[in-house]
Amino acid sequence: GRFTIFFGGMLINFIILIIVGSLGCANSSGASWGIGSLLLVFTFVYDSTVGPITYCVVAEIPSAQVRSKTVAVARNFYNLAGIPVAVITPYMLNPTAWNWKAKTGFFWAGFSLFGLIWTWFEFPETKGRTYAELDVLFKNGVKARKFKTTEVETFNTEEMLANMDDDHLKQVVLEKEEEEKEEMIEDAKFKT
């Protein structure tokens, strides 16, 4: 499911960042080749797991009433968060600035570890769930780790009737009577 793909991508990228940081402590051309290769693997893993799953989940989780606004806010937050990353990363890598070089991997591994822990406890599994089921799970306060196994009843007649006013109830009754009439007519035609 989506959780497995996202968590797996986060875990692999965390490990890669730790290895890149460790290789940054070695001063050899072999370490440089290893760092370059691992960064390519990092990009591939991110672009095939965390990156695309984020777009799926950010559109699935919000309630229908606020979905478009939530996607817009999430996208804007992503873009704003990218600004400090784009500003400080060159300082980390540049030999005339902080000169961390590949040890920068340790810094980003810290953020990755935070994201990994958050994912484990707070990232809900949305695979195979309808929007209505997700709304019920959130409304009932189900923990994100239990989304996959929780049974959901999306159509609760008693709750629906409690939320309807008299006009809605009359409409439902009229529609039901109309359906029953049509079924009786079809049955009569079939018997003759």
Does 135 share its domain with 172?
no
Q: Which amino acid is at 11?
A: L
Question: Tell me, what CATH number does 102's domain have?
Answer: 1.20.1250.20
Residue 169, domain extent: 157-191
Does 49 share its domain with 96?
yes
User: Does some domain include residue 152?
Assistant: no
User: What single DSSP character describes residue 143?
Assistant: -
**Domain total of the chain:** 2
Does 185 share its domain with 103?
no
pLDDT given at position 192? 66
Tokens of 12: 């692999």
User: Does some domain include residue 78?
Assistant: yes
The structure's pTM equals 0.77
> Per residue in 67-105, pLDDT tens?
899 999 999 999 999 999 999 999 999 999 999 999 999
Does 135 share its domain with 161?
no
> Per residue in 30-63, pLDDT tens?
999 999 999 999 999 999 999 999 999 999 999 8
> Per residue in 96-136, pLDDT tens?
999 999 999 999 999 999 999 999 999 999 998 988 888 88
Q: Print burial letters for 62-85: b (CB count within 10 Å at least 16), e (below 16).
A: beeeeeeeeeeebeeeeeeeeeee
Does 76 share its domain with 165?
no
User: Does some domain include residue 10?
Assistant: yes
Does 80 share its domain with 132?
yes
Q: How many residues in the chain?
A: 192
3-state secondary structure of 17: helix
